[in-house]
Protein backbone atom coordinates (compact mmCIF):
# COMPACT_ATOMS: atom_id res chain seq x y z
CA UNK A 1 0.00 0.00 0.00
CA UNK A 2 1.42 3.40 -0.93
CA UNK A 3 1.65 6.27 1.54
CA UNK A 4 -1.19 8.02 -0.25
CA UNK A 5 -3.38 4.92 -0.09
CA UNK A 6 -2.61 4.55 3.61
CA UNK A 7 -3.52 8.18 4.25
CA UNK A 8 -6.81 7.75 2.39
CA UNK A 9 -7.63 4.59 4.34
CA UNK A 10 -6.93 6.38 7.63
CA UNK A 11 -9.06 9.35 6.62
CA UNK A 12 -11.91 7.09 5.51
CA UNK A 13 -12.01 5.47 8.97
CA UNK A 14 -12.14 8.76 10.89
CA UNK A 15 -15.38 10.58 11.69
CA UNK A 16 -16.24 13.68 9.67
CA UNK A 17 -15.91 15.94 12.71
CA UNK A 18 -12.43 14.81 13.79
CA UNK A 19 -9.78 17.40 14.49
CA UNK A 20 -6.56 17.91 12.56
CA UNK A 21 -4.73 16.62 15.64
CA UNK A 22 -6.77 13.40 15.37
CA UNK A 23 -5.82 13.05 11.70
CA UNK A 24 -2.13 13.62 12.41
CA UNK A 25 -2.14 11.20 15.33
CA UNK A 26 -3.76 8.41 13.32
CA UNK A 27 -1.41 8.98 10.38
CA UNK A 28 1.53 8.81 12.80
CA UNK A 29 0.24 5.53 14.26
CA UNK A 30 -0.26 4.04 10.79
CA UNK A 31 3.27 5.05 9.76
CA UNK A 32 4.75 3.67 12.98
CA UNK A 33 2.98 0.33 12.51
CA UNK A 34 4.15 0.11 8.89
CA UNK A 35 7.73 0.83 9.96
CA UNK A 36 7.52 -1.80 12.68
CA UNK A 37 6.27 -4.39 10.22
CA UNK A 38 9.04 -3.49 7.78
CA UNK A 39 11.62 -3.83 10.56
CA UNK A 40 10.18 -7.23 11.52
CA UNK A 41 10.26 -8.39 7.90
CA UNK A 42 13.91 -7.30 7.70
CA UNK A 43 14.78 -9.20 10.88
CA UNK A 44 15.47 -6.02 12.85
CA UNK A 45 13.69 -7.15 16.00
CA UNK A 46 14.80 -8.31 19.43
CA UNK A 47 13.83 -11.86 20.42
CA UNK A 48 11.14 -12.12 23.12
CA UNK A 49 13.43 -14.03 25.48
CA UNK A 50 16.06 -11.28 25.29
CA UNK A 51 13.50 -8.54 25.99
CA UNK A 52 12.09 -10.50 28.91
CA UNK A 53 15.56 -11.05 30.38
CA UNK A 54 16.45 -7.37 30.05
CA UNK A 55 13.18 -6.27 31.66
CA UNK A 56 13.62 -8.71 34.54
CA UNK A 57 17.19 -7.56 35.11
CA UNK A 58 16.25 -3.89 35.04
CA UNK A 59 12.88 -3.80 36.82
CA UNK A 60 12.63 -6.90 38.98
CA UNK A 61 16.21 -7.08 40.14
CA UNK A 62 16.79 -3.33 40.25
CA UNK A 63 19.90 -3.46 38.11
CA UNK A 64 21.14 -0.83 35.67
CA UNK A 65 20.49 -2.16 32.20
pLDDT per residue as tens digits for the range 18-49: 999 999 999 999 999 999 999 999 999 999 99
pLDDT of residue 63: 60
pLDDT of residue 33: 96
The SS3 of residue 19 is: coil
Question: pLDDT-based confidence at 62, cuts 50/70/90?
Answer: confident
pLDDT exceeds 60 at position 65: no
> Which 8-state DSSP code applies to residue 16?
T
pLDDT of residue 39: 97
Indicate the burial class of 51 (C-beta count within 10 angstroms; 0-12, 13-18, 19 or more).
Answer: exposed
> Which 8-state DSSP code applies to residue 2?
-
Tell me the C-alpha distance between 21 and 37, whole Å. 24
> Which 8-state DSSP code applies to residue 14?
S
Amino acid sequence: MTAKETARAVLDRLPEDCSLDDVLYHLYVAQTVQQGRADADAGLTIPHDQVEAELRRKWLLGGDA
